[in-house]
Chain A
Amino acid sequence: MMKRYDAVVIGAGHAGVEAASAMAKLNKKTLLTTLSAEAVAFMACNPNIGGTAKGHLVKEIDALGGVMGEVADKATIQVRMLNRAGGEAVHSLRAQVDKNLYHRLMKQRMENTENLDVMEADVNEILFEGNRVVGVKTAVGDTIKADAAVICTGVYMDSRIITGNYERATGPAGFMRSVGLSENLKRYGLDIRRFKTGTPMRVLSKSVDYDEMELQPGEEDLPSFGMLTEGEVRNDCPCYLTYTNEETHRIILSNLDRAPLYNGNISGIGPRYCPSIETKVVRFKDKERHQIFVEPEGADTYEMYVQGLSTSLPFDVQELMLHTVKGLTRAKITRYGYAIEYDCLNPKCLNAALGIKGYAGLYSAGQINGSSGYEEAAAQGLIAGINAARYLDGKEPVILTRDSSYIGVLIDDLVTKGTEEPYRMMTSRAEYRLRLRQDNADIRLTELGHAIGLADEKRYAKYLKKKAEVESLKETFDAVRFKRKDVSQAGIDLGESSKPSFTITELIKTGVGIADIKKLLPELDSYMTDAVTSAVTDIKYSGYLEKEDKRVAEESRLNGYKIPCDMDYNDVEGLRTEAREKLSEVRPMTLGQAGRISGVNSADVTVLLIYLKKKRY
């Protein structure tokens, strides 16, 4: 019997589940395929969700009506807020997540979603009529009819894992890999590349001497990822900190000839931000020690993740170096570290909607697009799912701008600049960092999520309430005035200011924080915590935000100029050859995107602008 769906998602990792769930919620009959039902939303590497910039992504996914945040909250076993010293803009929620629980909850959620089927299938061919997707074909020869497909193969395409001179053609953690799809995509003229990443060893908890390490407990009273999550998240499984030492480094350096990264056995391009321990030791010879965090893989297992020792050194060397580390001298390895090489797309094959250029109904998301990380994958999955659904409805795609979200920055970076290594989100990639905060993710995005049809009424109502609170708080902050004496008596340091009285707004601008403001305005406690944070932070950053506003306005002006997708750049007189080539490669959707392509300068944008105006596009 021929199966027939509106859309099929290939791969049920962190990108796939978001894409499938978004399409299903948007009333598309969706099939989510996976090589193994045990691998749905499997966390193949670190046991955490969130962290710098990634925490922002999760909040944004949640604000739009995605699933990662809510499921992460339910599977959390410890939570911390990173970067408190850096300022509110970079405060980043990071949760230790029970891997098995996360997988099970996400799988259940997919199974319980209306319009969505989950099925084990090895999809190895996309079927087209002309340039239009009409279905997919599986390795056993089944054809599934569908008008849209979202490819979310993660690190599974033609992957191979390597430890020392041992290698095996397999996906991560022993899961089967995807064979044939990569070849199929190549046949359709897509630019396939080989990237590499890696994971450290896991050790048995009872063989670890925790007394020798620094305890890293969770923090209390933190917000959750999910706006609709109710009650406290679980927070009772600590992490531990220890360090490598000279002996560890000596062992690594004396075995470099057996390291696949250095003896030529690995050719894939690895990420700079996620280096193996051998790379760290080689590149930073002067550094006497490197941090290692020992983190629980879950609450139902004794396995611990050894963050910081990602490696593909041979098994015996892994053993030797691990045993030099304080607290791990008698640690028993349960799984060895390995490197994994996989096929992925050059993200310049994609447009800003995450559609594959030159084809209709074909989308991709996650590590196949050259990114790295669960959160980056989920964010893309959500957008690819939304846009595949909108394609089926004949609607314009949703494109998030760089000033709206980290998701916008992530996708724009990938499709406009491309990447030469697995791309990780970092706050420093966001030029509008001060406005893209966790506390205001819903204010930035829930309106849009609601308009798209993903953010439900409950979420929308909560957003409206918060927005109203933020506005009312700002009014109050401007209106109430406190005498200098009263402010001082509350124990608030007024610094060098000599004014006789202050509004809260003025106090915030002199650097007074939320805790101190509460002393003057105890009624703040009756507001939503995030509303207070947003109101105070907006005021604190107001000078910067006003400056940014001008840039945002200029950028949205350029983003407003649409470039037709069949634009012939050879026809545009006055473009430099380099710009002509780059523009033809990227095929930007707007003039704003054109200007962000490296190798396209402002003069080229002017030339394009004049051309577009002349042609009255």
Chain B
Amino acid sequence: MSDVIAAISTARGNAAVGIVRLSGDGADEVASRIFFKKGFDFKNAEANRMYLGEIRAGMVKDRAFCMYCRAPKSYTGEDVIEFQLHGGRVVTEAVLEAALSFGARPAEPGEFTKRAYLNSKMSLSEAEGVEALIAADSEAEAAAAYRAMDGELDKTVRAIGSKLVKATAALDVMLDYPEEMIEDTLPEVRETLGEVKTALNRLIGTEKERKMISEGISVVIAGLVNAGKSSLMNALCGADRAIVTEFAGTTRDVLRETLEINGVKVSLSDTAGIREGAEGAEKIGIERAERALAGADLVLFVMDGGEPESDEERELYSKICKRPHIRVKNKGDVGDYPREADITVSALTGENVDRLGALIAERTGIRAMTSPPLTRERQLHAAKKALNAVVAALNALKTSTPDCVSADVKEALEALYSLTGEDAAESVVDEIFSRFCVGK
């Protein structure tokens, strides 16, 4: 038996839709005092359907949708009712207050998820995926969280886990049945651990992707003055963010804009053009530009296709070429001076700007993001711990005895299983008896 908890489950602020959610035994009774619809009664309402009706909460009256999920077929495994309301604080907060006055209590942070986990609706790693989902503010972060919710992380972890179980069993069978093992299992252990190391590295390699998803990546647009950097930024953002004039040196500061490419937050910085002899505000702008360059994940080196290549441009490029970069020949519509470029665009006509977006996705690794990234610090920590233990095991294989190797492998297994909340010990014993013919 659980009491009814209630919370506004959308971000507070001005949005089109706001959601208030109730969960627990008696959620329907609380809801029936808030939501009204002719001929509708929660007692015999069909579950998993949206009902359009009227909300009455204190002074507020509004049209709203209501969704009703009956236990155990709901997110938390309890009776769950969701009100989809018009956005804004007034309506959502009035509904929440009404729910609380009718017997619900405010949910603790993450309590819906905790209940779902406690009611075995999800494994620990899925539960954490959901937590990340709640905080997700971009498409990819949501996707990563969804993948975890779908159990894709579980699947990856299980695949690695079963390999570790195999290695542990191969070691332990030797340690527990020294007289009966005719074949040497150590080569098999070494090979399996090698595979696990690769797989864990792949999983942890997504730390970069995870960071990319939560923190976004930084793309800096650089080039000589008047190469059309600001126009390109405007074209990529689809808005007149930067002031564009035909006068060289218009942009005096670093302008920042966030856009989403393939769901990843890309922070795009338009820098002041770099030219010798700049003074005052422009000079400070150039210094800032150089700092921005240093911190960039990717630099778009913009060249003016309407002008011939200059020494200045070559010199600037020599500073950039060591960083991840894309050479963009702009003003493709104006002139056609030859340049070595990765792409030719026209910021003015928008020609090839889409392709540039795709190229950015490719070069930053956004596109290659295939395996489900670990979305939580704890998961990452566990995976790293597992990897360290596997590396230690491979080392112990060379310098120490199998009892030590086994200790390392078990540590790895436990670290890994802590992600899914499973017990490693029994799996190993089962594996021993299913794979090896041992016993007197």
Interface residue ranges, A against B (CB under 8 Å): 46, 52-53, 82-83, 85-90, 92, 271-275, 280, 283-284, 287, 290-291, 293, 307-308, 310, 426-429, 431, 433-434, 495, 510-511, 540-541, 544, 547, 573-574, 576, 578, 598, 601-603
**Given A82-B178, A273-B433, A426-B429, A544-B404 contact (CB < 8 Å):** yes
Residues of A within 8 A of B440 (CB): 46, 274, 293, 307-308, 310
Q: Which residue of A lies closest to B184 (CB)?
A: A85
Chain B residues 169 to 198 lying within 8 A of chain A, measured CB to CB, are: 172, 174-180, 182
Residues of B within 8 A of A433 (CB): 403, 406-407
Q: How many of B's residues come within 8 Å of A, CB to CB?
A: 39
Identify the stretch in B115-123, B228-236, B344-352 within 8 Å (CB) of chain A at 4 or more residues: B115-123
Contact status B175-A428, CB under 8 Å? yes
B 130-171 binary contact with A (CB < 8 Å = 1; else 0): 000000000000000000000000000000000000001000
Minimum Cβ distance to chain B for residue A407 (Å): 17
**Given A428-B429, A511-B400, A603-B118, A287-B175 contact (CB < 8 Å):** no
Contact status A89-B425, CB under 8 Å? no
Interface residue ranges, B against A (CB under 8 Å): 1-2, 114, 117-120, 168, 172, 174-180, 182, 399-404, 406-407, 410-411, 421, 423, 425-426, 428-429, 432-433, 437-440
**Given A87-B402, A291-B180, A428-B429, A273-B439 contact (CB < 8 Å):** yes
Contact status A434-B407, CB under 8 Å? yes
Contact status A88-B439, CB under 8 Å? no
28 A-B contact pairs sorted by A residue (CB < 8 Å):
A46-B440, A52-B175, A52-B178, A86-B175, A86-B401, A86-B402, A87-B400, A87-B403, A88-B401, A90-B178, A90-B402, A273-B438, A273-B439, A275-B437, A280-B437, A428-B168, A434-B404, A495-B399, A510-B399, A541-B404, A544-B404, A544-B407, A576-B118, A576-B120, A598-B426, A601-B421, A603-B114, A603-B117
Contact status B404-A87, CB under 8 Å? yes
CA separation between A429 and B2, bound complex, in Å? Answer: 38
CA separation between A598 and B424, bound complex, in Å? Answer: 11
Contact status A428-B172, CB under 8 Å? yes
Q: A427-B172, A428-B429 are in contact. List 8 more A-B contacts (CB 8 A).
A: A87-B402, A90-B403, A290-B437, A428-B168, A431-B410, A433-B407, A510-B399, A574-B118
**Given A273-B438, A273-B439, A431-B410, A90-B429 contact (CB < 8 Å):** no
CA separation between A308 and B26, bound complex, in Å? Answer: 63
CA separation between A275 and B432, bound complex, in Å? Answer: 13
Residues of B within 8 A of A272 (CB): 433, 439
Residue from the list A308, A310, A427, A495 in contact with B175, Cβ < 8 A: A427
Contact status B439-A428, CB under 8 Å? no
User: How many pairs of A and B residues are in contact by the CB < 8 Å rule?
Assistant: 106
Contact status B439-A86, CB under 8 Å? no
Contact status A82-B179, CB under 8 Å? yes
Residues of A within 8 A of B411 (CB): 547
Q: Which residue of A lies closest to B433 (CB)?
A: A272
**Given A428-B432, A429-B429, A511-B400, A578-B120 contact (CB < 8 Å):** yes
CA separation between A181 and B114, bound complex, in Å? Answer: 48
Minimum Cβ distance to chain B for residue A492 (Å): 15
Minimum Cβ distance to chain B for residue A249 (Å): 12
Contact status A287-B401, CB under 8 Å? no
Residues of A within 8 A of B180 (CB): 291
CA separation between A307 and B407, bound complex, in Å? Answer: 31
Residues of A within 8 A of B401 (CB): 85-89
**Given A88-B401, A310-B440, A601-B421, A83-B175 contact (CB < 8 Å):** yes
CA separation between A375 and B119, bound complex, in Å? Answer: 42
Minimum Cβ distance to chain A for residue B426 (Å): 7
Residues of B within 8 A of A427 (CB): 172, 175-176
Residues of B within 8 A of A52 (CB): 175-178
CA separation between A274 and B174, bound complex, in Å? Answer: 16
Residues of A within 8 A of B402 (CB): 85-87, 90
Minimum Cβ distance to chain B for residue A57 (Å): 14
Minimum Cβ distance to chain B for residue A497 (Å): 11
Residue from the list B168, B172, B178 in contact with A85, Cβ < 8 A: B178
Contact status B178-A576, CB under 8 Å? no
Minimum Cβ distance to chain B for residue A568 (Å): 15
Residues of B within 8 A of A287 (CB): 437
Contact status B429-A89, CB under 8 Å? no
Q: Which residue of A lies closest to B169 (CB)?
A: A428
Q: Which residue of A lies closest to B400 (CB)?
A: A511
Q: Which residue of A lies closest to B389 (CB)?
A: A547
Query: Which 10 pairs between the two chains have the least Cβ-Cβ distance?
Result: A87-B401, A87-B403, A428-B172, A284-B437, A89-B403, A83-B178, A272-B433, A273-B439, A426-B176, A86-B175
Residues of B within 8 A of A511 (CB): 399-400
Residues of B within 8 A of A274 (CB): 439-440
Minimum Cβ distance to chain A for residue B165 (Å): 12
CA separation between A541 and B176, bound complex, in Å? Answer: 19
Q: Which residue of A lies closest to B180 (CB)?
A: A291
Contact status A86-B174, CB under 8 Å? yes
CA separation between A83 and B172, bound complex, in Å? Answer: 11
Residues of B within 8 A of A434 (CB): 403-404, 407
CA separation between A282 and B109, bound complex, in Å? Answer: 55
CA separation between A578 and B118, bound complex, in Å? Answer: 10
Contact status B176-A53, CB under 8 Å? yes
Residues of B within 8 A of A598 (CB): 423, 426
CA separation between A402 and B2, bound complex, in Å? Answer: 36
Minimum Cβ distance to chain A for residue B424 (Å): 9
**Given A52-B175, A52-B177, A428-B428 contact (CB < 8 Å):** yes
Q: Which residue of A lies closest to B399 (CB)?
A: A511
Contact status B182-A291, CB under 8 Å? yes
Q: Which residue of B lies closest to A544 (CB)?
A: B407
Q: Which residue of B lies closest to A290 (CB)?
A: B437
CA separation between A88 and B175, bound complex, in Å? Answer: 11
Of the candidates A85, A280, A284, the one having the most CB atoms from chain B within 10 angstroms of its own CB is A85
Q: Which residue of A lies closest to B182 (CB)?
A: A291
CA separation between A90 and B437, bound complex, in Å? Answer: 20
Contact status A86-B403, CB under 8 Å? yes
Minimum Cβ distance to chain A for residue B206 (Å): 26
Minimum Cβ distance to chain B for residue A454 (Å): 29
Minimum Cβ distance to chain A for residue B190 (Å): 15
Minimum Cβ distance to chain B for residue A304 (Å): 15
CA separation between A92 and B179, bound complex, in Å? Answer: 11
CA separation between A180 and B179, bound complex, in Å? Answer: 41
CA separation between A603 and B110, bound complex, in Å? Answer: 14
Contact status B178-A283, CB under 8 Å? no
Minimum Cβ distance to chain A for residue B309 (Å): 53
Q: Which residue of B lies closest to A91 (CB)?
A: B403
CA separation between A427 and B175, bound complex, in Å? Answer: 7
CA separation between A92 and B438, bound complex, in Å? Answer: 17
Of the candidates B1, B172, B440, the one having the most CB atoms from chain A within 10 angstroms of its own CB is B440
Residue from the list B179, B428, B433 in contact with A291, Cβ < 8 A: B179
Minimum Cβ distance to chain B for residue A245 (Å): 14
CA separation between A497 and B421, bound complex, in Å? Answer: 41
Q: Which residue of B lies closest to A87 (CB)?
A: B401
CA separation between A287 and B438, bound complex, in Å? Answer: 11
Q: Which residue of B lies closest to A307 (CB)?
A: B440
Contact status A88-B403, CB under 8 Å? yes
CA separation between A272 and B426, bound complex, in Å? Answer: 14
Minimum Cβ distance to chain A for residue B180 (Å): 6
Q: Which residue of A lies closest to B3 (CB)?
A: A573
Minimum Cβ distance to chain B for residue A64 (Å): 24
Residues of B within 8 A of A429 (CB): 425, 429
CA separation between A46 and B440, bound complex, in Å? Answer: 9
CA separation between A602 and B406, bound complex, in Å? Answer: 25
Q: Which residue of A lies closest to B410 (CB)?
A: A431
CA separation between A86 and B410, bound complex, in Å? Answer: 16
CA separation between A280 and B433, bound complex, in Å? Answer: 11
CA separation between A602 and B118, bound complex, in Å? Answer: 10
Minimum Cβ distance to chain B for residue A292 (Å): 10
Minimum Cβ distance to chain A for residue B311 (Å): 52
Minimum Cβ distance to chain B for residue A603 (Å): 6
CA separation between A598 and B114, bound complex, in Å? Answer: 20
